[in-house]
Amino acid sequence: MSANVLHLDNVTMQFGGVVAVNDVSLDVNEGEIVALIGPNGAGKTTVFNVITGVYAPTNGRVTLRGKVIAEDQPRGKMRKLYSGGHAYMYPHTVNNTPDKITKQGMARTFQNIRLFKSMTVFDNVLVAKHMNLKAGFLRTALHLNGAEERRIREETQALLEVVGLTDVQDEIATALPYGKQRRLEIARALSTKPSMLLLDEPAAGMNPQETEELCAFIRDIKDRFGLTVLLIEHDMNLVMDISDRIYVLNFGALIAEGTPAEIQQNPEVITAYLGVAEE
């Protein structure tokens, strides 16, 4: 079996009394494409927010390639409110922020597309690259020397070529059709040279043809950049087609894990999410 890339141990994320993620443990291994599915409000995006350091988990641990990137236990007011399991097994050991986790090779896209709306396609990727340089966006914008600037522009050009956006690189990002905006968002995520990519509903708003192209696109960048992928998606054609394995979340808790064929036949998953095929 291939090496573990991402590992969650008993992760609970509680907002006051609302348990958004409840005692979730999961694994994503080298080179896999794994899907995280489930009804609206099941906690899928919140799992991404914990993995990427947007929220510190209320309890539990996240490791990336064996290195702890988040670890916590109920503290302060949460000591009384906590209603998840496995409390007090995970001492608070790390203080990570999203940018530090990005530097360890994690990249993501967002459920609602986040692009610089009035910038060109090229500049959207260029700025993403700038923002990930050590010194921060403003300083590097002021201090980059000619050679560095040239290198970053070349890398941006190469990346746009790979994702097939060269022909629209000078257009304003938001003037692109939806499918290409999604692709640009993925290009921005790739600009940080990640080894693990998290995609939050990449097919949302796409027509069937765009979705099919997206499927081939995800496979292509996975192979090309040696990525491991975890994706959230409601489009079951895409999920069943692309995933090696699937985790199903319902009311914050995992109710199933398996191959697409196993998940499609799982009675609990059908009841909670997939429903029964129409006669």
Ligand X SMILES: Nc1ncnc2c1ncn2[C@@H]1O[C@H](COP(=O)(O)OP(=O)(O)OP(=O)(O)O)[C@@H](O)[C@H]1O
- Binding site residues, ligand X, CB under 6 A: 15, 18, 20, 38, 40-46, 111
- Whose Cβ is closer to ligand X: residue 124's or residue 250's? 250
User: What is d(CA 50, CA 57) in angstroms, rounded to the nearest whole number?
Assistant: 6
> What is the binding site for Mg ion (CB under 5 A)?
44-45, 111
Q: What are phi and psi of 63, to 5 degrees?
A: -120, 145
3-state secondary structure of 32: coil
User: What is d(CA 43, CA 251) in angstroms, rounded to the nearest whole number?
Assistant: 7
Q: How far is the CB of 111 from Mg ion (least distance, A)?
A: 5
- Whose Cβ is closer to Mg ion: residue 20's or residue 165's? 20
81 touches 16 (CB < 8 A): yes
> From ligand X, Mg ion, none, which one binds at residue 128 (CB under 5 to 8 Å depending on kind)?
none
User: Residue 17 corresponds to which tokens in the numbers above?
Assistant: 């009394």
User: What is d(CA 167, CA 190) in angstroms, rounded to the nearest whole number?
Assistant: 19
Q: Buried (b) or exposed (e) across 95-130, using 16+ Cβ within 10 A?
A: ebeeeebbeebbbbbeeebebeeeebbbbbbbbbbb
Q: How far is the CB of 77 from ligand X (least distance, A)?
A: 14
> From ligand X, Mg ion, none, which one binds at residue 98 (CB under 5 to 8 Å depending on kind)?
none
> From Mg ion, ligand X, none, which one binds at residue 158 (CB under 5 to 8 Å depending on kind)?
none
Q: How far is the CB of 186 from ligand X (least distance, A)?
A: 18
Q: How far is the CB of 43 from ligand X (least distance, A)?
A: 4
Q: How far is the CB of 51 from ligand X (least distance, A)?
A: 12
> From ligand X, Mg ion, none, which one binds at residue 145 (CB under 5 to 8 Å depending on kind)?
none
- Whose Cβ is closer to Mg ion: residue 111's or residue 157's? 111
- Whose Cβ is closer to ligand X: residue 40's or residue 118's? 40
Cβ neighbours of 229 (radius 10 Å): 23
**What torsion, rounded to 10 degrees, do the Cα atoms 241, 248, 46, 67 define?**
-80
- Whose Cβ is closer to Mg ion: residue 111's or residue 120's? 111
Residues pairing with 60 in the sheet: 72
Q: How far is the CB of 221 from Mg ion (least distance, A)?
A: 22
> From ligand X, Mg ion, none, which one binds at residue 22 (CB under 5 to 8 Å depending on kind)?
none
Which residue lies nearest Mg ion, judged by its C-beta? 45
- Whose Cβ is closer to Mg ion: residue 36's or residue 125's? 36
Non-local CB neighbours of 145 within 8 Å, separated by 6+ positions: none
Q: How far is the CB of 208 from ligand X (least distance, A)?
A: 20
**What torsion, rounded to 10 degrees, do the Cα atoms 134, 139, 142, 143 define?**
-50
User: What is d(CA 39, CA 109) in angstroms, rounded to the nearest whole number?
Assistant: 20
> From ligand X, Mg ion, none, which one binds at residue 20 (CB under 5 to 8 Å depending on kind)?
ligand X
> From Mg ion, ligand X, none, which one binds at residue 43 (CB under 5 to 8 Å depending on kind)?
ligand X
- Whose Cβ is closer to ligand X: residue 173's or residue 253's? 253
